[in-house]
Amino acid sequence: MSANGFTRVRAAITLAVVCLGLAAGSATAQPGGVLAEAHRPAVDLAPSGPSVESRLAEIRRRIEAALVYPPLARWQDREGDALVRFEIGADGRAHGVRVARSSGEPLLDAAAARAVVAAGVLPRVYGPLEVPVSFELATRR
């Protein structure tokens, strides 16, 4: 982010796509040998720690802190939104980082993916995450 405040970069976590494994149901045997789907409420894998929402907010904060607007893209007035997909591994770092939806600007896509990796050790959240990363040039006031 530029020191003069003319550049603003945002990142937000899409909560609806966050945890694919948290609300999984299981099959149970019913009389007569029929299997029925038993639906259980979502269970967090770390119920005694911070809430999923607070962990997602921390992930967002760390990605925002690691974002760097590419100077060439800024100079060329390039803006866009990239959707980055990844999972948090057992080591707490982002693994399998890829751009799921391009911003249309390769420089911005690469910067978004780099920010996820540069965010370092992240709070644990089970399942794949999709993070939209926005690059916007603020107007001079």
Helical ranges in 24-68 per DSSP H = 52-66
Rounded to the nearest integer, the mean pLDDT of the chain is: 76
Going through 35-128 in order, the beta strands assigned E by DSSP cover 35-38, 80-88, 94-101
Single pTM value for the model: 0.67
- What is the spatial distance between Cα 118 and Cα 136, in angstroms, rounded to a whole number? 20
Specify the pLDDT at position 29. 40
Distance, in Å, from the CA atom of 123 to the CA atom of 56, rounded to the nearest integer, reads 8
Query: Based on the number of CB atoms within 10 Å of its own CB, is 129 exposed (0-12), middle (13-18) or buried (19 or more)?
Result: buried
Per residue in 39-85, pLDDT tens? 444 455 556 788 889 998 999 899 989 999 999 999 999 999 999 99
- The stretch 32-42 carries a mean pLDDT of 43
